[in-house]
A and B are shown apart, each in its own frame.
Chain A
Amino acid sequence: MLEIKDLNVKLEEEDKEILKGVNLSVEAGKVHAIMGPNGSGKSTLSYVLSGKDGYEVTGGSAVMDGVDLLELEPEERAAAGLFLAFQYPVEIPGVGNMTFLRTAVNAQRKARGQDEMSAADFLKLVRARAKELKIDAEMLKRPVNVGFSGGEKKRNEILQMAMLEPKMCILDETDSGLDVDAMKLVADGVNALRSEGRGFLVITHYQRLLDHIKPDVVHIMADGRIVKSGGPELALEVENNGYADILAEVA
């Protein structure tokens, strides 16, 4: 599903290398988790995959289902099925959440050569999905993320994911800032989307989310590289002992 090979990335503005040869491949139907110390490059990886400006790829590749992601505009990557749930969802005053969702859904459908969804169908779908995530109708009417609490923003990310039905989902610390119940909701939202054809890359600092979303593979990222990969037990090890042992072992 997603094949990242020896990906090297530096900042465009300054000579700072952030990703130093990332290798990672997520198979369809699988959930991979990435953990790692603050500043190790996890968000950068997610941004580079989704096409954010400000980074320069100096080497390596990222391919999704045979498509070279790095060649595409952000909107083309989205239409190809890539989705990033942001660590810090952006507030957009003046753009209604509903308008935003409908524009996004229909833009992707159009890019894929499908008919636009009718207003009625869209409304029905968004209401059902929002209900599952306990997002009330009022929130849908408000401008995108404006005045949303931290947890509401994260649930809104999952709502977008549920509406867009991407094939490759990257979740960047979607659990941070969530209360216990909200975490369960978000995890249920993710689990509901788990399917044979879909891959997940879940960036998190905590074992708790992984209790709900059972990962198939756990990677540890440090200083711009994946330094260790293993099964779910790797997350438990981090939870109990921190990164010191792992980092010492690979150093």
Chain B
Amino acid sequence: MGLPERKRTATEARLAGLTLPTGGWAEPARRDALSRVTAMGLPQRRDEYWKYTRPDSLLDPEPPRAALLEQGGELVFESMDRLKIVFVDGVFDPEASDALELEGVTIDRLADARDADIHWAKDFYGVLEARGQTPVERPFAAMNTAFATDGVIIHVTGKPSKPISLIYIHRSEHSDAILHHVVRVDRDAEATILENGPAAARFNKCMEIDIADGGILHHVRAQGRDHERRAVTHVFARLGRDSVFKSFTLSVNGVLTRNECVIELTGDDAIAHVAGACVGDGDFHHDDTVFVTHDAVNCESRQVFKKVLRNGATGVFQGKILVKEGAQKTDGYQISQSLLLDEDSQFLAKPELEIYADDVACSHGSTSGAIDEDALFYLRSRGVPHGTATDLLTLAFLAEAVQEVEDEALAKDIISRLENWLARRR
């Protein structure tokens, strides 16, 4: 059972430049992941799951150059009280980070945890990623588990008073970063994890999240700034009974972003919301690929993705709800919409439902449209200038996704980013 020649060579070429970190309990998990990725092979342009997004630049042995943005203005989340964990081009920066101490959570650097004889993460590292390989293969995630050079292990045991904020700084035009985080939320514990920053010229990030019964995790991320960056990211989340996972991603700029989110509802009455708002201009390409599996009774899942595209930007959404046998009373909702600000932009969507239970309520919808001319005229007839009116309607379009951010201060911050982005393009 061999891979097609092209795929095998491309995979070998990409992996050849990487070194598998050795030592500690992580090594066997990494070796397993390496066998997974060599068996699957890295994605090729013809692969069905990569139909709308070209993986080529993620496969090149060397990352394409990504210019650094002249940093102007305050970064997102800046004014929030949070525990900062900083990575520069994919390397943990202890100087720039806060002490990894906060009541209700323990945080270790992956490299440190690995060398501890006994560590809870031993039974978690790579586990959800491996589970997430069926029914659809996600080779970049297996590659990540094998070769990740850094990352943090976050164990939420209580209710930390402030968010844990992962900040990804991009400083080298040729950096190629692979980060792997593991998050475990204990029974009835609750935390917020923030992520922001361009990270590297090319970034492969994987986050495995295990939420025990009654646990709650809020995840808010902002991918932005340096336009030439490329990223492939994976979130793997497993939810226990009565647990809640809410994830929101803001994406601004970026020539290539592929965000995969794989969620498994394994305990009854769990709730998972994944949402995204993205705004793209020109050679922007943004792909949200979501796979939600209902494997318990009375769970709720929501996928809300909104994309604003202009000047030839491309948005992709592949979203699936899989309801397994016995997952009765499932409430599944999925919406993906694009607002095309001109005729050159395009939105490619593949919404899917697969249901093996009979007592479920699932709905999905996907639309693509332009600014509502009647609404625009109505606003203008009240004296609102064309540009302001367009921005108002654009923000209104994004609102359903942004509303998924529960924390008001965070939501405000995100809206102001969007406003600025729009204002800069008027």
Contacts and interface: CB of A to CB of B under 8 A. Distances in A.
Contacts of B382: 78, 100, 104, 107-108, 160, 164
Nearest to A166: B383
Given A93-B396, A94-B396, A94-B397, A75 B386 contact: yes
Residue of B381, B385, B386 contacting most chain A CB atoms (<10 Å): B381
Interface stretch (A12-20, A46-54, A206-214): A46-54
Interface residues on A, range: 20 to 34
Given A104-B384, A164-B382, A164-B383, A74 B397 contact: no
A90 B378 contact: yes
Interface residues on B, range: 20 to 34
A247 interface: no
A89 B378 CA distance: 8
A89 B379 CA distance: 11
Interface string A118-155: 00000000000000000000000001100000000000
B385 A94 contact: no
Contacts of B5: none
Contact of A104 (B383, B386, B396): B383
Contacts, number: 80
Contact of A74 (B374, B380, B400): B380
* SS class, residues of chain B in contact with chain A: helix
Contacts of A95: 379, 392-393, 396
A92 B396 CA distance: 8
B383 A108 contact: yes
A103 interface: yes
B375 interface: yes
Interface in B360-375: 372-375
Contacts of B384: 75, 100, 103-104, 107
Contacts of B377: 51-53, 74, 90
A35 interface: no
B374 to A, nearest CB: 5
Interface of B: 372-375, 377-386, 388-389, 392-393, 395-397, 399-400
26 contacts: A50-B381, A51-B377, A52-B381, A53-B373, A73-B380, A73-B386, A75-B385, A75-B389, A83-B381, A84-B381, A86-B378, A90-B375, A90-B377, A99-B392, A100-B379, A103-B384, A103-B392, A104-B382, A104-B383, A105-B383, A107-B382, A107-B385, A107-B388, A143-B396, A160-B382, A164-B383
Interface of A: 50-53, 73-75, 77-79, 83-84, 86, 89-95, 99-100, 103-105, 107-108, 111, 143-144, 160, 164
